[in-house]
Amino acid sequence: MLIKVEHLVKDYQVHKNGKGFLQAVKNLVMPEYLKKRAVDDISFSIQPGEMVGFIGPNGAGKSTTVKILSGVLSPTSGRVTVGDMDPFRNRKKYVSHIGVVFGQRTQLWWDLPVEDTFDLLKAIYKIPDATFRKNLNIYRELLDLDDFMSRPVRQLSLGQRMRADIAASLLHDPEILFFDEPTIGLDIVAKEKIRECIKAMNRDKGITMLFTTHDMQDIEKTCERMIVIDRGKIICDSALTEIRSLYDHERRLTVKFAESYPSIHVAKAQIVHEEGNSKTFSFHTHEITTSELISSLMSEYVVMDLTVQETDIETIIKKLYEEGEGVQAYEGVS
């Protein structure tokens, strides 16, 4: 395995504030602190080449965990190893093996043209000339950078800056890439461009990737596995297909018939919408499978077209949060 997290704990000291003038003076002379546990005894591992979504609500502990994994913070207790390195203790050596993309923070130099920033990163990471030229050509094409390579970073749109940031994080051929909200605030076209690049880099170079994001489409369109954290604890660690099989039992089937049938009845399914010759059926897969429902309809009626709609990933994640401790039974399944 490439990344191994064992019984990770991270505590913060939070200043305790009291009311009133005397309490304010006391806080200055003898400050009191409360301990806040951001990450509470979590363990997981990631294999080389995996693309993993690491999600949770605000304050769940995901950003703290990623900061520990990227070597920015040291854990209170527990152990993190990436390859043969401790991210915090071996930080100087470690940073040359990773890339980090923050959706709300740039690693680019604000007043420099993008191409000058890339030249600086080449020097910082000591990237060989041939490697730098090859990678730059790849990302210029994949991310459509040519239109703004000579423009200062401060003049770029958010989508352009994000594309440049992703290219910057990949120039030195990192083994691991950490993403924090990589598509935040972007339009649909820009999001798809970034997702396609991410998948191409994983496929072609085998880069291991960990995502923290609130956009579930980022996870569903790029990752095969998802780790869900809430209040500092992992409540689910499974393949997306496994999560769907456990929580996605409701389906909708929209069927366009050859004619307008006045009455259609199918056991274990109900019509929830009708428009012209089309009808939408709602059903649960533990009562009737999709193929059984389709076969039943096609045996009795003339079907022109049909579409199956699964439950969106946001609804499934909401179920995970709502069930809370009930989800613990599935932790570690992957």
Q: Mind listing the pLDDT tens digit for each residue in 186-204?
A: 888 888 888 898 999 999 9
Closest among 115, 65, 8 to 228, alpha carbons compared: 65
Q: What is the mean pLDDT of residues 16-31?
A: 70
* Pairwise CA distance, residues 316 & 309, whole Å: 14
Between the alpha carbon of residue 197 and those of residues 50, 202, 204, 303, 320, the distances in Å are 16, 9, 10, 39, 30
CATH of range 3-11+37-244; options 3.40.50.1970, 3.40.50.300, 1.20.1250.20, 3.30.110.70: 3.40.50.300
Asked if the model's pLDDT at residue 327 lies above 60, the reply is: no
Q: Based on the number of CB atoms within 10 Å of its own CB, is 107 exposed (0-12), middle (13-18) or buried (19 or more)?
A: middle
| All residues at 6 or more sequence positions from 298 whose CB lies less than 8 Å from its CB, including other chains | none
CA distance 178 to 99: 6
Closest CA to 251 of 316, 191, 199: 316
Q: What is the pLDDT of residues 57-96, one digit of tens each?
A: 888 898 899 999 999 999 999 999 999 899 999 998 999 9
Output the pTM of the full model. 0.77
Alpha carbon distance 59, 93 (integer Å): 30
Domain boundaries defined on the chain? 3-11+37-244, 249-309
86 burial (CB, 10 Å; 0-12 / 13-18 / 19+) is: middle
pLDDT digits (tens, 9 = 90+) for 241-260: 888 777 777 888 999 999 98
Tell me if the domain spanning 249-309 has CATH number 1.25.40.
no
User: Does 325 have pLDDT greater than 60?
Assistant: no
